[in-house]
Amino acid sequence: MKIDVKYNINFKKLEKEFESNKLFKTVNEGLSHKVAETSSRFILDGKVKPVLPKTNPRKRKDSNARPLFDTGNLANSLKGSARGITANKPKNGKIPYRSHRESSYTWKKADGHSVNVPQREFIVAKSQGKLLIRGTSALVDKIYKEFQDKFVKLLSKALRKRRWKNQREN
């Protein structure tokens, strides 16, 4: 017994898949949930660098104090969506979380003293082919490999229509 399966490739569907908004949404939906989950775990495990100095008041109270984990709001609120990775607003409402990623900054305490806060990357991913955080290649590679497999299946499904389905409809 011989079974032939033939496919038609629908290039209009392919073109629709590669429209910039749809592709952006597909990539975000496929990657952002896993990246947010892994980044949250990265913060919870205290792996964010640089570590808190011994002079930090939180470090003095608790020798196990972790960077970016004052209230837990950031780590517990990281979520992935079609728009990308989002987080709740900081509880104190003054300094957005993206400030930690962009550069070091000066924070004014309530008593008027200023504190220099170093840049701390906490998103476990790649940007322009480079790791955002050293030492996370195994985590990032696993996330990207899972996404690659899903994306290839999605494209394959979008491109092909089984010929016998078309014949049944006619």
Parent domain of 120: 7-169
Say if 1 falls within a structural domain.
no
- Element housing 127 (H / E): strand 126-127
Say if 103 falls within a structural domain.
yes
Say if 89 falls within a structural domain.
yes
User: Rg of the chain over CA atoms, in angstroms?
Assistant: 23
User: Nearest 5°: CA angle at 143, between 140 and 145?
Assistant: 105
Q: CB under 8 Å to 137, separation ≥6 — which residues?
A: 131
Mean pLDDT, rounded, for 117-128:
89
pLDDT score of 162 more than 70: no
93: left (phi over 0), alpha (psi -120 to 50) or beta: left
Q: How confident is the model at residue 78 (pLDDT cuts 50, 70, 90)?
A: very high
Say if 79 falls within a structural domain.
yes
Q: CB under 8 Å to 39, separation ≥6 — which residues?
A: 78, 85, 122, 123, 124, 125
Q: How confident is the model at residue 76 (pLDDT cuts 50, 70, 90)?
A: very high
Kindly report which listed range (18-22, 99-103, 149-153) carries the lowest average pLDDT score: 18-22
* Count of structural domains, the chain: 1
Percent of the chain topping pLDDT 70: 81
CB atoms within 10 A of CB 156: 10
Say if 50 falls within a structural domain.
yes
Closest CA to 39 of 79, 67, 89: 79
Q: Look up residue 119 and give its two tokens.
A: 């840049």
Q: In 3-state terms, what secondary structure has residue 95?
A: coil
Mean pLDDT, rounded, for 133-147:
90
Please classify residue 124 by burial: count the beta carbons closer than 10 Å to its beta carbon, then call 0-12 exposed, 13-18 middle and 19+ buried.
Answer: buried
Say if 119 falls within a structural domain.
yes
Say if 28 falls within a structural domain.
yes
Say if 30 falls within a structural domain.
yes
- Between 31 and 159, name the one with better pLDDT: 31
